Structure 1
Amino acid sequence: MEQNQYNQVSQRTDAGLAAFFSKIYAYLGIGIAITAVTSYLVMDVFYAQVASVIQSLPLGLTLIWLLEIALVIFLSAKAVKNPTLAVGGFIAYSIINGITLSFTLVWYTSEVITSAFVAAAVTFGVMAIFGSRTQKNLSAMGQAMRTALIGVIIVMLINVFFVKSTGLLLFISIVTVFVFAGLTAYDHQRIKAIYNQFGDAPELSGMAVFCALQLYLNFINLLLAFLRIFGRD
């Protein structure tokens, strides 16, 4: 009798976790689709108009990047308490990121973009499966990857403003792939921990948006890193 009850509880937990992952990936798919469509429209239809608007802004594209950072902070703070607002913010972020991404994609050929997208998708998928299924605790790796990310950002800024080395940029891009591949695995394991913490609580809906944002950022940064690797002269 007790074994049957345990099996029923386990089945309900597995079903609930699967539903949670489905919701996260639905948000993630919507976000990536919105970004892709926005990038296409900006690059091939409204490039001149959008470029003119951005040039008229006080800080230009930098202001858009600052807005993206502000949205990430906002979503991190509001996702749990206000899921509806979080969804709207995530959609807005996907659109804005599509605009900024388009100004990067115009420098690459369609072949390079396709190769980078496939490489990012495969890397993301492999690490997602690993993070979801491994029994090893990835907390230490996740912390190490976050620390490495800070180092990558610092070195990248130094390279952009002072060193300006293509060789260093390639090295940074390769390290970036490893960092976000590791974070992808860690975040997938953390999704399981989040579900176990919240269960069927109302906060779980907002956490789905927050988790989708984390995975979205991982994928986009993988894409950008592979673009720099495949698109080098």
Structure 2
Amino acid sequence: MYDTQRVTASASNLRAFFNRTFTWMAAGLVLTAVVAWYTVSSASLMSFVAGAILPLLLVQLALVFGFGFLLPRVSATVAGVLFAVYSALNGLTLSRIFLVYTDTAIASAFVTAAGMFGAMALIGYTTKVDLTKVGSIAFMALIGLLIAMVVNLFLQSGPLAFIISAVGVIIFAALTAYDIQKLKAIAQYGPAGDGWDGSVGGVSGEVGEKMAVFGALTLYLDFINLFLMLLRLFGFAGGRRE
């Protein structure tokens, strides 16, 4: 009787954690879309983005890499604000896709990304196979992909750009499944690492909310990058504006 109640409570806590995580993620995506749409409709904002694209990207990178360090040390409210700021800044930089790709290509890439993300998330949540090795391989492949992207900035090779996009889709699909499984473990056993002492045994309350925001950022990045890689592929298929 006791074990049954404990398992039921654990399953309930797990659902609650992922509900909060996906709610935060959805809010971030909506904020990004709204900011991107508003930016592309404003000539002055588009001019600002064009002139400040490098500083904007550097600030975004700083937020992403600093988030993990700050998370144990700030409140859930501050963590949520940081995620919102990152989502808004990403909306500014992503606004340029509306100038490069057709509305049809953007919509098609989004729907495809949503379907793939959902499928890989389901696999990551339900599989009994340990995806740690998959995550490690995908991360190493991601480093190689970033190097290839930098090289192609100089080569400007169309075939290489296509290969990068296709491989990128595979990498971020794999990372989605891995990250879901990792977040499931965090929800069940608690976060590990510096600053999280005493939180082992699942997440709830303040810690739970902060980990939900962390999970939202992780999955947000998986989805956005999957979407962008697919969008580039749709661009090769005639989805670019003339």
Category of TM-score, reference length = shorter chain? over 0.9
Residue 81 of structure 1 contacts residue 206 of structure 1 at CA under 8 Å; is this kept in 2? no
Aligned residue-pair number: 224
Query: How far 1:104 moved relative to its partner?
Result: 2.4
Residue 79 of structure 1 contacts residue 209 of structure 1 at CA under 8 Å; is this kept in 2? no
SS at match of 1:225: helix
Determine the structure 1 residue equivalent to 2:193.
Answer: none
Residue 32 of structure 1 contacts residue 216 of structure 1 at CA under 8 Å; is this kept in 2? yes
Q: Which range moves more in the overlay, 78-87 or 103-112? A: 78-87
Query: What does 1:28-67 correspond to in 2, within 5 Å?
Result: 28-43=25-40, 45-46=41-42, 48-56=43-51, 60-67=52-59
Residue 186 of structure 2 contacts residue 203 of structure 2 at CA under 8 Å; is this kept in 1? no
Residue 135 of structure 2 contacts residue 178 of structure 2 at CA under 8 Å; is this kept in 1? yes
The alignment's TM-score, normalised by the length of structure 1, stands at 0.93
Determine the structure 2 residue equivalent to 1:12.
Answer: 9
Post-superposition Cα deviations, 1:77-129, rounded to whole Å, max 9, x if no partner, equal: 22233221110010000000001001123201111001100111011000000
* Structure 1 residue 154 corresponds to structure 2 residue 154: no
Q: Which range moves more in the overlay, 209-218 or 75-84? A: 75-84
* Structure 1 residue 142 corresponds to structure 2 residue 135: yes
* Structure 1 residue 210 corresponds to structure 2 residue 214: yes
Query: What does 1:76-155 correspond to in 2, within 5 Å?
Result: 76-82=68-74, 83-155=76-148
Hey, what's the Cα distance between the residues in 1 that align with 2:203 and 2:61? 30
Paired letter, 1:35: T
Hey, what's the Cα distance between the residues in 2 that align with 1:63 and 1:196? 39
Determine the structure 1 residue equivalent to 2:234.
Answer: 230
Q: Classify 1:21/1:55 alpha carbon distance in 2 versus 1 (closer, same or farther; 3 Å).
A: closer
Query: How far 1:51 moved relative to its partner?
Result: 2.7
Q: Which range moves more in the overlay, 12-21 or 79-88? A: 79-88
Post-superposition Cα deviations, 1:29-67, rounded to whole Å, max 9, x if no partner, equal: 000000011111111x21x111332455xxx31111001
Query: How far 1:160 moved relative to its partner?
Result: 1.0
Q: Flag structure 2 segments of 5+ consecutive residues without an equivalent.
A: 191-201
User: In the alignment, which of 177, 185, 198 is matched to residue 185 of structure 1?
Assistant: 177
Hey, what's the Cα distance between the residues in 2 that align with 1:105 and 1:153? 23
SS at match of 1:136: coil
Hey, what's the Cα distance between the residues in 1 that align with 2:19 and 2:159? 40
Q: Classify 1:55/1:141 alpha carbon distance in 2 versus 1 (closer, same or farther; 3 Å).
A: closer
Determine the structure 2 residue equivalent to 1:21.
Answer: 18
The alignment's TM-score, normalised by the length of structure 2, stands at 0.89
Q: Flag structure 1 segments of 5+ consecutive residues without an equivalent.
A: none
Hey, what's the Cα distance between the residues in 2 that align with 1:224 and 1:81? 32
Paired letter, 1:74: G
Query: How far 1:200 moved relative to its partner?
Result: 3.8
